[in-house]
Amino acid sequence: MSVDPMSGDVDSIRRLAQVLDQRAISVDNAGESISTAASSATSSVWEAASRTAFTAKAQELRTQVGRVSSRIDTVAFALSDYAAKLEQIQSDARTIKAAQLRNDQDIASNTRTLDRLSTADDDQSMTEVVTASALGVAYQTTKLALDRSWNDLVARRQSADAAVVAKLQGDEALGTPPPSASAVDGMSDAAFLAWLASQPADALPRIGLDKAVTDRLGQIRDPKVIADWWNSLGGPDGKGSASTHSDAQQALVDGVPLLLGNLNGVAYWARDKANRTTLESQLKTASGQDVVAYKNIKSSLKKFKGVSLITLQPDHPPLAAVAIGNLDTAQNVTYVVPGMNSDTPNTTVVERAAYDLRRQQRAWTEESTAVVAWLNYKTPGGPPAVLHGDMARAGAERLGDDLAGFNATRGDGKGHLNVVAHSYGTTTSSITLAERDYGVDNWVSAGSAGIEQDIPTAADIHADHVFVAQAPRSIGDDGLLGKKGDGWSWLGQMGSMTRHDPASPSFGGTYLATAGVPRLDDMHGVTTHDPLANSASRPNSYGYFDMDTESLNNMARATTGNFPTR
């Protein structure tokens, strides 16, 4: 592709180079200050054993700071050198362009002269014709020479551009080169993870972007391998916490946030920190509806206390999971799996349902609780997709990965584990729990869009207890054509042709009443298929997860061991 030798703002490039040059000096001065502090920490002024650890860490940090300073200096020099070359190229380009313009004018003038002399037949005119023709040949020769000079200049510009790009992308600017795919593929899981943790903190950002590394990490399917590795990095603090963890763990959180944030087996405090970094990065580059999704996710993190972003998968729209409560320590954990139209542009809706459930749970248990608003799968937007099982099967695999990750992260002290699903989420989560035992204590189906027929009974769900909440069926929500109730779940059950109703006695689940208790203001009945419906504009509407409903109260009882089972 041809380039314009005239393009580019030399002054801006030169100013940036100067700023970076000063930045390199400042960083290097900071490194010298670290060295001075370490040198001052002699045994005569610091007798504690921690002095040795401090001086060792200071020396390590000084080395890293020196590498960073060197890289900034490399970039500054590359840009300064490029600016000088570009300035000369642009000067030469202006000279060639001016010469081409003059030569084109001479050619035009000479052509007019030949046209005028073409009708003359006297000797003087013939002499002028010969002279003009000779000039024409000279002008054309000059034109060819100037064109060659321009093409040579274009080549010089392309060479200068390529050279500066090579320097900016080279090891001296970016640091340690990432490994080749063949190198990491040949490592065992343990060796690969050990290698990753051993990389200098300042080298991790580049390594984390390398496809060979991300692909190799994705090949580790057992989250317990990840959990054991992560816990080993914490030393005496094990998996660590937001306030107490090792330098090695912090380096990975800072250096490879996109890798760490979704890595099952890593402590959730670390995933939250990593995903918040990724969120800010994505907000700067996202476009269209993805911006809405990322902003909604960010808003969800400020809505309630104790919220963490345990999953953030860039996609269109992005996928996410938001936990309310400490997922690393809670004695009772519930994953809320939503149904159709539940994507990250609606994160705060699903989060509110999770918050309501946790709030109601705390009325029934003294255990610490955490509830996850799980939006880590693509849900159907409505018919006809909601009548098919493709998205449910894909989501079931992702849910299984996350439940296995939870078990690995928490280990033997995981406490009670529950899955509460709504609408199409019941289709999804039932597949997950039918395929494998994840140690789930209670599975709750609310307003089910139907369970696949190859899961015939509650006994086929790997959960200690299976509960089913189903509002009275109606034609349309909020009693559009008659009695109030759930106007959508039965359509999913019947329209799919491959599912059945988990609320039927033959399925064998424990039924949770949802119709409400007359004259009790905190026991309203469900009037719609929605998870949430009650608002100032809909004061008489209630979804399955609205506060002051019999449905929510019974789901809270079921997930805290306070509801009689069959």
Cα angle 485, 489, 494 (rounded to 5 degrees) comes to 125
| Least confident piece of the model among 42-51, 141-150, 367-376, 484-493 | 42-51
Q: Name the band, by pLDDT with cuts 50, 70 and 90, for residue 5.
A: very high
What average pLDDT does range 199-207 have in this prediction? 83
Angle 402-408-411 (CA atoms, 0-180°, nearest 5)?
Answer: 135
| Across 191-200, average pLDDT | 90
Most distant CA atoms of the chain, gap in Å: 124
Rg (CA), the chain: 34
pLDDT of residue 89: 95
- What is the pLDDT, as a whole number, of residue 517? 93
Among 3.40.50.1820, 3.40.309.10, 2.30.30.60, 3.40.50.970, name the CATH number for the domain at 318-565. 3.40.50.1820
pLDDT > 60? residue 481: no
| Whole-number pLDDT of residue 476 | 63
Domain ranges of the chain: 10-174, 318-565
Beta bridge partners of 321: 311, 374
**Side by side, which strands form the sheet with 332-337?**
307-313, 319-324, 369-375, 332-337, 416-422, 440-446, 463-469, 510-512
Residue 52, pLDDT score: 77
β pairing state of 451-452 and 307-313: unpaired
In 2-122, which ranges are continuous DSSP H helix? Answer: 10-40, 50-117
Say if residue 78 is exposed, middle or buried (CB neighbours under 10 Å; 0-12, 13-18, 19+): buried
118-133: average pLDDT: 77
Residues 338 and 375: beta-carbon distance below 8 Å? yes
Give residue-wise pLDDT tens across range 321-380.
999 999 999 999 999 999 998 999 888 899 999 999 999 999 999 999 999 999 999 999
Which of 170, 166, 175 minimizes the C-alpha distance to 69? 175
Q: What is the pLDDT of residue 391?
A: 95
Percent of the chain beyond pLDDT 90?
A: 69
pLDDT exceeds cutoff 80 at 482: no
Sign, CA torsion 398/404/409/414? positive
Give mean pLDDT, residues 506-528.
94
| Three-state secondary-structure class, residue 36 | helix
Provide mean pLDDT across the span 289-308: 95
Return d(Cα 234, Cα 538) in angstroms, integer. Answer: 51
Pairing of strands 499-500, 369-375: unpaired
Say whether pLDDT at 77 is over 70. Answer: yes
| DSSP string computed for 354-419 | HHHHHHHHTTT--S-EEEEEEE-SPPP-STTGGGSSHHHHHHHHHHHHHHHHHHHHHGGG--EEEE
pLDDT of res. 346: 85
In this prediction, residue 480 carries a pLDDT of 54
pLDDT above 90 (res 3): no
| Mean of pLDDT over the chain | 91
The predicted model gives 80-90 an average pLDDT of 94
* pTM, entire model: 0.78
**Whole-angstrom Cα distance, residue 330 to residue 405?**
15
Contacts of 563 (CB under 8 A, 6+ apart): 467, 510, 512, 554, 557
In this prediction, what percent of the chain has a pLDDT beyond 70?
95
- Average pLDDT (439-454) is 97
Is the pLDDT assigned to residue 44 strictly greater than 80? no
Decide if pLDDT at 550 tops 80: yes
The pLDDT, as a whole number, for residue 39 is 81
Q: What is the pLDDT of residue 297?
A: 96
Residues 6+ apart with CB under 8 A from 87: 10
pLDDT digits (tens, 9 = 90+) for 391-443: 999 999 999 999 999 999 999 989 999 999 999 999 999 999 999 999 999 99
Report the pLDDT value the prediction gives residue 118, as an integer from 0 to 100: 76
